[in-house]
Amino acid sequence: MRGLFIFSLLSASMCGAQITGRFTIDKAAFAPGEPVVLNFTIHNDGKTPVYISTADPYSFCSGYKIQVDRTSSPDAACPPRSYGGSCASGLLELAPGASRTEQILLNYQNLSRGERKPVVRLPGDYTIDAARDVAFEADSSFKPPYRTLSFKQTLYLRVDPDLKVPAEAFVPSIAQLRSTDFTTNRNAALTLATLAPAELEPLLLTFATSKEPAIHENAPDALANLNTEASLAALAAMAQNEQAGSYASMRSAELLGETHDSKWFPLLLSTADKNAGISTYLQYAADSGGDAAVAPLAGRLRTADASTRMGILYALGETGSAAAVPILIGSLPSGPSAQSADSRSLTWQTDRMLQQLTHYTASTNYADDDVSTWRPRWQRWWLGHGSTAKTYFSEACGSAEMLP
């Protein structure tokens, strides 16, 4: 096994101050289910203060770029989903000789950045390519254009199936749940929710009713990762009872859908009906229902509302069902009308859902001049291959082949 190895450390000097940055991991080998934390420490080696832009390390504007590869058995990386929104940031004064360390849990799938990349989870050897862009200035006015410094390192670690999770591995996180500092509280809850050790089920079940925002926001993942009868029942209750459109409500519905257990379909469909203005709920229901969801969804396509129809088509793409494919093909515009702006948008979006289901696509170019050919091409493909074609749920990542 390769030992922990680091290279490509950069530093910069300005205005008499020098800042250096370094990524570290506490050890080279971990047990499956053990927290794996990446540390980034920035240090002011100079004789004057330096002002550094800071943000939540898990946010998309934090400046971090982290790539995890399981070298012994590579995992497929899904295409990133869209993300965005506002991003709270601040300014840190780093005094001469002072340091600041931030931590990132490498076991955590950071969906807030649109990532669907491999994380440190399964046994094997891992390569971690870590980078951080740091914006800094010599005074607190911090006006653009900012100076920027990039730190890049590569580290190696191993998840060893012969190792056991140390008894003390979660003791710090349990203690930090009582912290009055939001970030400390959130990071502790995130660690426990992500790893969800079975022996901590009684504690993790309390996340669903916690009044602490940092703990409650991690409840859906804690309950889903526990994956017990009690935790899934609590997850279903959150999907039903949390405020509609809130993170807790939608994340609970999403994770319940990802169980692909059709017993949750009636509950999730009822939740979708109660919140008809948020089409994403229907997609979560479809994810749960699979084949059983296709007929109820197809019946709803009779609606004349274009936005609602698009939401239903998206939901059909989430079913993972072969029965959804001909319905989506039939929804593709054809003939001269397919060239209108609205029809082209519908054609493109429907093709994306068919691609998700089948891993085939009519085109990778949205500006394709002749989208009117897409429907007949899909029809010919389905006629020739439909009886044997495989279909996939959205989390089954893979490259798409072009239709003939």
Which pLDDT value is given to residue 251? 96
- pLDDT over 90 (residue 271): yes
Which pLDDT value is given to residue 79? 55
Q: What average pLDDT does range 252-280 have in this prediction?
A: 95
Using 50, 70 and 90 to split pLDDT, how confident is the model at 394? confident
Number of Cβ within 10 Å of residue 400's Cβ equals: 17
Which pLDDT value is given to residue 178? 95
Q: What average pLDDT does range 289-296 have in this prediction?
A: 96
Beta strand pairing status for 29-30 and 11-14? unpaired
- pLDDT over 90 (residue 302): no
What does the block give as tokens for 330?
């039939």
Read off the amino acid at residue 211: K
- pLDDT over 60 (residue 214): yes
CB 197 within 8 A of CB 33: yes
Which pLDDT value is given to residue 72? 61
Q: Could you tell me the maximum CA-CA distance found in the chain, to the nearest angstrom?
A: 74
Reduce the DSSP state of residue 356 to 3 states and report it. Answer: helix
Q: Which one, of 254, 260, 261, 217, lies nearest residue 239 by Cα?
A: 254
Reduce the DSSP state of residue 68 to 3 states and report it. Answer: strand
Which pLDDT value is given to residue 74? 56
Which pLDDT value is given to residue 343? 84
Three state DSSP letters for 318-344: CCCCCCHHHHHHHHCCCCHHHHCHHHH
Which pLDDT value is given to residue 308? 86
- pLDDT over 50 (residue 327): yes
The residue to which tokens 């001269």 are assigned: 336
Using 50, 70 and 90 to split pLDDT, how confident is the model at 113? very low
Reduce the DSSP state of residue 24 to 3 states and report it. Answer: strand
Beta strand pairing status for 401-402 and 50-55? unpaired
Which residue did the predictor score with more confidence, 198 or 369? 198
| 11-159 fold | Immunoglobulin-like (2.60.40)
Using 50, 70 and 90 to split pLDDT, how confident is the model at 15? very low
pTM of the model: 0.88
CA–CA separation, 71 vs 155, rounded Å?
12
CA–CA separation, 317 vs 326, rounded Å?
11
Q: Which one, of 6, 27, 9, lies nearest residue 18 by Cα?
A: 9
Give the CB-side neighbour count of residue 184, counting CA atoms within 13 A.
9
Q: Which one, of 304, 311, 326, 310, lies nearest residue 275 by Cα?
A: 311
Listed ranges 53-57, 89-93, 353-357; the one with the highest mean pLDDT: 353-357
Reduce the DSSP state of residue 236 to 3 states and report it. Answer: helix
DSSP secondary structure letter of residue 263: G
Mean pLDDT of the chain: 88
Handedness of CA 357, 363, 369, 373 (dihedral sign): negative
Which residue did the predictor score with more confidence, 340 or 149? 149
CB 290 within 8 A of CB 280: no
Which pLDDT value is given to residue 370? 82
Which pLDDT value is given to residue 143? 78
Q: What average pLDDT does range 267-290 have in this prediction?
A: 94
Which pLDDT value is given to residue 304? 62
CB 68 within 8 A of CB 78: no
- pLDDT over 70 (residue 115): no
The residue to which tokens 């899904």 are assigned: 78
Lowest-confidence pick of 71-85, 228-242, 247-261, 328-342: 71-85
Using 50, 70 and 90 to split pLDDT, how confident is the model at 6? very low
Which pLDDT value is given to residue 76? 53
Number of Cβ within 10 Å of residue 389's Cβ equals: 15
CA–CA separation, 342 vs 274, rounded Å?
28
* Domain residue extents for the chain: 11-159, 170-257, 277-404
Using 50, 70 and 90 to split pLDDT, how confident is the model at 372? confident
The yes/no answer on whether domain 170-257 falls in CATH 1.20.1250.20 is no
CA–CA separation, 315 vs 280, rounded Å?
8
What does the block give as tokens for 11?
């530093």
Using 50, 70 and 90 to split pLDDT, how confident is the model at 108? very high
- pLDDT over 80 (residue 151): yes
